[in-house]
Structure 1
Amino acid sequence: MSSPDGVSMNGGEPSVHDVVVVGAGFAGMYMLHKLRGLGFDVAVVERASGVGGTWYWNRYPGARCDVESMQYSYSFDPELEQEWEWTERYSGQPEILRYANHVADRYDLRRDIRFETTVTGVDWHDADNQWRLQTDRGEFRSRFVVMATGCLSTANVPHFDGVECFEGPTYHTGRWPHEGVDFSGLSVGVIGTGSSAIQAIPVIAAECRELTVFQRTPNYSVPARNEPLDAADQADWKANYRERRARMLTQQAAMVQRLPDGEEPAKEATADEFGERMQERWEVGGFTFYRAYGDIGLDAESNGRVAEFVRGKIAEIVDDPETAAKLTPHNTIACKRPCLDTNYYETFNLPHVRLVDVSETPIERISPAGVVVGGEEYPVDAIVFATGFDAMTGTLLRMNITGRDGARLADHWDAGPRTYLGLGVTGFPNMFTVSGPGSPSVLTNMIPSIEQHVDWIARCLVDLRERGAATIEPEPDAEAYWVDYVNAVADLTLFPTCNSWYLGANIPGKTRVFMPLPGFPPYVEICEDVASDNYRGFVLA
């Protein structure tokens, strides 16, 4: 028995393909388009009812990309580049989702995507060199499986005693209702002050009657300076896309900045020169702020100087000294995902907005009427959990993946995720991960990173087909070397000095290992070298 779209239902015949791709975000869509063009039979399974991945689920107020629109887009088709018109410097979620849907329609991708299909188990079978994917809509089988599940796709929903008794609605920024939420006239509590919260808080504050923000850890944020996209600027980008796309691939984070990168050490600049340069970048907005000097992410003294500049800005912006002090971080700047904002700190000057510090006195429980901290109840009509994601590994581990001899991915990654190049895992043949742990992924502009991974995987599958090879998987020594290499590179930076989701520190009990690899251009060179050297570090059977 089959469903109307041809997918076998439970108990029916399996749906058999060359490749099954899990996820229909930007990675899954491009993977489908690329492989289909190379003659592979591909099916995509997607738990949502539409394409877009991160931008399908994250519909919270103020959701917006922190990479400029002209760079956060596909580069594989020059015609697509020229025909799509962006409207803002930083596109909001609705516009990005429209773009994703445009791509799906333009390349007729939906006919090979099985929506509203949740993967419940993924098992490798040595007898026939096949993956078998169990879903709530039947079984899929394939020689290859590509995990295009995204780095930020499993919401981290914390448990608070009493939350089930709360009399109002609760929301998570990563699971926002598609019909939207009206906070007009309500008292709202927001738990969390990470990137999603920093975007959402000003928008929610503009709508609700009263807003209470519960903050455990203050975050650094710099202005995005979002604005309508100038038509002349967009035309200039389109006229020079090839050159700029090539330049993006030479940059550490796969994006070009509005101001040139500074190369000299921040700690050696005079006070006047330092202040003028940082002020200029504060006014321009965006990630160019963190490229003012060459050693901001490497040298503690230089980093501390930049951090102090932002602390001074917080003190200038926030009227109440006590609130400003609570909002002021004292850790390394940019060791967590840097936040860009629109009037975040200014929001705390509004009379109906208050900040509750829960760093030393944590939230005790959720009462029927609100949030209890230090014995005091803060009444709210609705609660928003802006508590982030089980990043990079959460979605993969929830799919119950087993490889050779029934080995569980969860066991293989018990001491932290282990991959080779962020693309493959020892003992899990013919399984590829797009933007997996051990690749630059979240430290970059994600779409160029995605395209690089998809192109590499597609090249690999074509090479395997031409050679008649049945399987490919990383050698154990290559995987071990890569894990050590990623950590060695990270240790050259200040990233490991923070407890961030880069290390999994936001998830109780998760092993703390730095997961992404700093440095996009060297990584691309390594991947190319590995493929050209007969897939060095992989076993081809």
Structure 2
Amino acid sequence: MQSAHGSTENYRGGTVPSSTHGQNGGATPQKDFDVIVVGAGFAGLYAVHKYRNIEGLAVLGLDAATDVGGTWYWNRYPGARCDVESYNYSYSFDPELVQDWNWSERFAGQPEILRYLNHVADRYDLRRSYMFEKQVSSGTFDEERNRWVIETKDGDTYTAQFLHSGVGFLSAAKEPAFEGLQDFTGNVYRTSHWPHEGVDFAGRRVAVIGTGSSGIQLIPLVAQEAGALTVFQRTPNYATPLGNGVMDPEFQAQIKANHATLIERSRRTYAGIPYDTAQPSAVAVSDEERVATFEEKWRQGGFRLCFDSFADLAFNPESNELAAEFIRAKIRQRVTDPAVADLLTPRDHPYATKRPPLETNYYETYNRENVELIDLRATPIVRITENGIQAGDVEYEFDDIILATGFDALTGPLLRMNLRGRGGLPLAEHWEQGARTYFGRMINQFPNLVMALGPQSPSALYSIPFAVQDTADWTADLIRHMRENGLETVEPTAEAEDGWDRQTREIASYTLLPQANSWYMGANIPGKPRACLVYLGGGPAYNELIDKATANGYEGFELRAAAPAIP
């Protein structure tokens, strides 16, 4: 099963194929670099391009997979699809790339996104700098040499002045804690590490555990194929329509013709997506106006109901409840059995305080005769048995079990690299009371470590392509500044880190997010400190703050020259 950054371990039900490129994607046997980039998804690929092709630095990319793709390399389950429109879930750094690539759907599926990332890797010759099937097992900052020493699971060691983490914030799967899982004689699949050869569920008895975003995408398609599907649900979600469809050629041409304006418009919005028609408050309009707005955004699909209906849904309980009840009514309309509809109706958390899943025919799936829903709050899973799952006093028999149980978000991917900073300080110890960063990009006592999608950044609620490009561009400027001024290390001061931590927590306290036990709050992982892991001030405010600190001579950062040699 998948471990940190996606191992290539075999498991029942399928294996990840051998690399078509071998372990060495093109990287030389060189061992020391200017920058080591971990990850070959959106964040890692752009970082390698920026540092090597634009800045001329010596760069090594490392990834546990056999090829590029990041999240989209591992998550190949049926229905895997981006929940942001394709034209906005793509790079904007090269106008020619924008013009040359055509998306086939409004919301691209996993195969098409993976083709896009392969196209990017080919276009900019990025594999030449990568070593694949290289899982980082540890990283230690050597204070004598001011270098990061990176060890991989297979025993290799590499060093670099800078370490750039391009691991996705949802790349460390939550480890299942079901007793007896190893006893099950059927097949166990994980949405986070799906067999590349695919799976045939025709006529089989299938269980799905988990109804988060991955489960909601997967369940309708498995139901069409399986002989019988049983869904084990702990927490119902406010799922709203994706609204996918074939990309209209005229619309795509319009996007390309006005791409620069679209990017500028997107960057002015909270989430970095071009939704800018939200009205101030759901309680400030008439019932008729409010329902009409909700209906329009429901019909348009995507995140429009969440981000483009009313601006106070995230912090006004009354407005949020009006949106929540609108969605609950839609669920009751779409599910024919009132008892099942009731189980699918969320009531224990405000709308969008967990990442709002987007769906296609999800609720209608529960009208099928071959689909059964089990409420784990009423009948929790006792154990996995040899033949299936025991929930409460009942044992259900299955041929296949699918785990869609989520991720150790934001901090998990970084902690699993076993990083140690100054004085051998483990990152796990530094974050023992919760994640602490400066701008979500750097960490006190961990010099020259940059995070593209780190905790306490807006990344989980912001455009990923913008976030990863901005981080690598900012870091490239920082490296150039340091070299021009004879500086070797950079890290936030403890005071700056404390201040950012307070600001992140304070902003969160004004919202409704802390009312939900979500991965935003770290609440889905037993023992994980409960605190908001996302900067909730929005992309424009975040960018203004970091630009101001940078313009003020990297305010809040400590930049040091090399210590003089001891005679």
Normalization by structure 2: what TM-score? 0.92
Q: Give 2:190's match in structure 1, choosing from 164, 168, 172.
A: 172
In the alignment, which residue of structure 1 is the partner of 2:18? none
- What's the offset of the Cα at 1:503? 1.1
User: Which one-letter code corresponds to 2:438 in the other structure?
Assistant: Y
Provide the identity percentage. 47
Find the counterpart in structure 2 of residue 233 from structure 1. 251
Corresponding residue of 2:75 = 58
Instruction: Show CA shifts across 1:452-505 (max 9, x none).
Output: 111111111111111110110100000000001011111121111111001111
Matched AA of 2:75: N
DSSP 3-state at the match of 2:148: strand
Question: Which position in structure 1 is the counterpart of 2:177?
Answer: 159
> What pairs with 1:359-374 in structure 2 (closer than 5 Å)?
359-374=377-392
User: Which residue in 2 is equivalent to 1:277?
Assistant: 293
2:462 corresponds to: 444
1:319 to 336, 349, 352: 336
Q: State the partner residue of 2:282.
A: 266
The answer to whether the aligner puts 1:112 opposite 2:129 as a matched pair is yes
Unaligned runs of 5+ in 2: 1-22, 561-567
Per the alignment, in what secondary structure is the counterpart of residue 88 of structure 2?
Answer: coil
Instruction: Find out whether 1:530 has 2:549 as its counterpart.
Output: yes
Cα distance change on mapping 1:307 and 1:114 into 2, 3 Å: same
- Pair 395,4 (structure 1): closer, same or farther in 2 beyond 3 Å: closer
Q: 1:516 aligns to what?
A: 534
AA aligned to 2:556 is G
Shift of 1:7: 6.9
Letter in 2 for 1:327: L
Residue 269 of structure 1 and its aligned partner are, at CA, apart by 2.2
Question: Pick from 14, 18, 40: which aligns with 1:24?
Answer: 40
Question: What residue in structure 2 maps to residue 76 of structure 1?
Answer: 93
CA deviation after TM superposition for structure 1 residue 401, in Å: 0.7
Distance 2:532 2:283 in 1: 27
State the match for 1:426 in structure 2: 444
Aligned pair partner of 2:311 in 285, 294, 303: 294
Query: What secondary structure sits across from 1:114 in the alignment?
Result: strand
TM superposition shift of 1:262: 2.2
**Residues of 1 paired with 2:441 and 2:200: CA distance?**
42
Match of 1:133 in 2: 150
Shift of the 293–374 alpha-carbon distance from structure 1 to 2, 3 Å rule, reads same
Question: CA contact under 8 A between 1:444 and 1:520: conserved in structure 2?
Answer: yes
SS at match of 2:488: coil
- CA contact 1:46–1:113 (8 Å) conserved in 2: yes
> Which deviates more from structure 2 when the two are superposed, residues 208-217 or residues 486-495?
486-495
Unaligned runs of 5+ in 1: none
Q: Is the 8 A contact 1:7 1:138 kept in 2?
A: no
Q: Secondary structure at the match of 2:546?
A: helix
Q: Deviation at 1:261?
A: 2.2
For the structure 1 residues 517 and 5, does the alpha-carbon distance in structure 2 shift closer, same or farther, using more than 3 Å as the test?
closer
Residue 359 of structure 1 and its aligned partner are, at CA, apart by: 1.4
Where in structure 2 are the equivalents of 1:335-374 lying within 5 Å?
Answer: 335-374=353-392
Amino acid in the other structure paired with 2:57: F
- 3-state secondary structure, aligned to 2:520: coil
Deviation (angstroms), 1:191: 0.2
1:254 is the counterpart of 2:272 = yes
Question: 2:180–2:384: 8 Å Cα contact kept in structure 1?
Answer: yes
Shifted more, 272-281 versus 97-106: the winner is 272-281
**Match among 50, 54, 61 for residue 44 of structure 1:** 61
Runs of 4+ in structure 1 off by over 3 angstroms are 3-8
Aligned partners of 1:177, 1:154: CA distance in 2, in Å?
A: 17
Question: Contact conserved, 1:14 with 1:138, CA < 8 A, in 2?
Answer: no
Helix, strand or coil at the partner of 1:70: helix
Q: Is the 8 A contact 2:180 2:383 kept in 1?
A: yes
Deviates more, 1:375-384 or 1:231-240: 375-384
Whether contact under 8 Å (2:35, 2:163) holds in the other structure is: yes
Give 1:199's aligned residue.
217
TM-score, scaled to structure 1: 0.97
Q: For the residues of structure 2 that align with 1:268 and 1:169, how far apart are their CA atoms? A: 53
2:465 and 2:515 map into 1 onto residues whose CA distance is 27
Please report how far the alpha carbon of residue 14 of structure 1 lies from its aligned counterpart in structure 2 after TM superposition: 7.0
1:116-166 Cα offsets, whole Å, 9 max, x none, are 001111001111111100112511001111111110101113121111111
Instruction: Work out which of the residue numbers 433, 447, 461 in structure 1 matches 2:479.
Output: 461
Letter in 2 for 1:34: K
Is this contact kept in 2: 1:7–1:15, CA < 8 A? no
> What residue identity is the alignment partner of 2:396?
Y
Count of paired positions: 533
Match of 1:389 among 399, 407, 410: 407
Change (3 A) 1:461 1:100: same
Match 2:230 to one of 212, 215, 237: 212
> Which among 171, 175, 181 is matched to residue 199 of structure 2?
181
Residues 372-430 of structure 1 deviation map (CA, whole Å, 9 limit, x = unaligned): 11110111110000001111111111111111111110000011111001111000111
Q: Structure 1 residues 402, 249: closer, same or farther in 2, change over 3 A?
A: same
Cα distance, 1:508 vs structure 2: 1.0
Match of 1:96 in 2: 113
- Aligned equivalents of 1:309 and 1:264: distance in 2? 18
Query: 1-side partners of 2:27 and 2:472: how far apart?
Result: 25
Partner of 2:12: none
Shift of 1:4: 6.6
Match for residue 8 of structure 2?
Answer: none
> What is the deviation of 1:285?
1.0
* Deviation of the 1:263 alpha carbon: 2.4
Please, what is the CA RMSD of the aligned residues? 1.3
Indicate if the aligned counterparts of 1:315 and 1:321 stay in contact, CA closer than 8 A.
yes
Q: Would you say the 8 A contact 2:231–2:374 is kept in 1?
A: yes
Distance 1:511 1:80 in 2: 42
